[in-house]
Chains A and B, each alone.
Chain A
Amino acid sequence: MINKIVKSLKDAVANIHDNSTIMIGGFGEAGSPVELIHALIDKGSKNLTIISNNTGSGHVGLAALIENRQVKKMICSFPRTANSTVFPQLYNKNEIELELVPQGTLAERIRAGGAGIPAFYTRTSINTLLSKGKEHKFFDDNEYVLEYALKADFSLVKCNISDRYGNLTYHATARNFGPIMCTAAKETIVQSKKIVEIGDINPENVITPGIYVDKVIEIENPAHESELVESQIRYLC
């Protein structure tokens, strides 16, 4: 019987090891799998490369993971947002690496990684510092830059409803990077607000088909990152 449901956050992140590359879903707090990230902090895996659009805010979630010095390198498009201080401080001290990627290129590199496409050409970042040193090519008189696919050892994703096959639906703009990150990791770990019986999700409404998902844990009332930040909560003691 296929059953991807795990019972504890500890089980969910059990395989994550030092030196892993991990994709973490979310656009700011929308879609950020806060509980899975906190479980990763508890596990303590080090020397991680994290692929995520932002770098977290306050002292919870992704920001806390960085603050706990578990992250060697960030690959992201927008490393500073309101209330994000942890990453900028380490970056200015040269204590964390940054690979800055335009948001669409970041998404497409992840999509390519999940679709077996090793690299692709794009117009984005032509004539800018971010295409410097990369291979350029002309198609129909337009210049393009070669970008390589991104893959990960693990993806941490937040969804709304799932079943034991790992079929997923999302809520509003919390979908963002979730569906593509599920496709691009060796092991995809999902926190879901609700787990339902097989067949309860109309096949027409499945956004991520279960084949892309390895583990699902139910987190009925996930924390809102902004509320934690407003309450000045620090995940690390």
Chain B
Amino acid sequence: MLEQVGWDRIEMAKKVALDIPDKSYVNLGIGIPELVADFVPKDREVIYQTENGLLGMGRVADKKNEDRELVNAGKKCVTTISGASFFHHADSFAMIRGGHIDICVLGAMQVSSNGDLANWSTGSNSIVPAVGGAMDLVAGVKKIFVITQHNTKKGIPKILDKCTFPLTGKNVVDRIYTNLAILDVNKEGLFVKELADNISFEYLKSKTEANLFQY
């Protein structure tokens, strides 16, 4: 078993949640991003959009109340909040591509120091390529947050000078939340906003293949 260094998934999700302002319209990607909704402070009113046609997504449905036709982008059964709305796919992506969504939280395979994101393909021919809505989200949503482990399970850095996998978008990521740190993507490069507990800047640098700056 690989020992958890720095924050765990829940702590990472909590860090993202604290950075989602009141009254935001938010799209959460599949996987760790889905955890974020559980930790947004209760005094903030945040509306979640799921790109398969629902604004005002609630929590995951209880087993006994599952409706197979009320699902999120990850095809999990969900619920609606009071005040929710349904719409078709072109309307849903008009929200996304038309710049109406404030924040999107996505997973990543690789992120580069200038905010390039790779999260849809390793470039390998043996896996069927699948893109879903990722390219639309990075092209149209106002702020893109990435939440990811800092390194792969094999210890390979995911934060790089330049992505080696095919891109989802160029210069699209605003902030990266990993188990080791929170990094801002600025014009000058990656700036450390916060280090995880017991993680030093030197240690972070040793796990990163990109230049890092301190504020």
Within 8 Å CB of B67, what residues of A?
172
Q: Is the CB of B68 within 8 A of A30?
A: yes
Whether A19 sits at the interface, judged by CB under 8 Å, is: no
Interface positions, chain B 184-204, Cβ under 8 Å from A, are: none
Whether A41 sits at the interface, judged by CB under 8 Å, is: no
Known contacts A30-B71, A87-B128, A226-B68; is-contact A176 B88 (Cβ 8 Å): yes
B160 smallest CB distance to A (angstroms): 16
B22 smallest CB distance to A (angstroms): 26
Query: Which residue on chain B has the smallest CB distance to residue A101?
Result: B131
Q: Is the CB of B88 within 8 A of A128?
A: no
Total B residues in contact with A, Cβ cutoff 8 Å:
39
Interface positions, chain B 141-197, Cβ under 8 Å from A, are: 166-170
Total A residues in contact with B, Cβ cutoff 8 Å:
51
Contact of B167 among A102, A104, A128, A172 (CB under 8 A): A128
25 chain-A/chain-B pairs, Cβ below 8 angstroms: A27-B71, A27-B75, A28-B75, A29-B75, A30-B52, A30-B70, A77-B133, A79-B130, A87-B128, A102-B132, A103-B51, A104-B93, A104-B133, A104-B135, A104-B140, A123-B97, A124-B139, A129-B121, A129-B167, A130-B131, A171-B69, A172-B69, A173-B53, A177-B89, A207-B88
Q: List residues of B whose CB falls within 8 A of some A CB.
A: 50-54, 67-71, 75, 80, 86-90, 92-93, 96-97, 121, 126, 128-136, 139-140, 166-170
Extra contacts, 15 of them, besides A27-B53, A177-B88 (Cβ < 8 A), are A28-B75, A30-B71, A79-B130, A92-B126, A92-B128, A98-B128, A102-B135, A103-B93, A103-B131, A107-B93, A123-B97, A123-B140, A126-B139, A172-B67, A180-B90
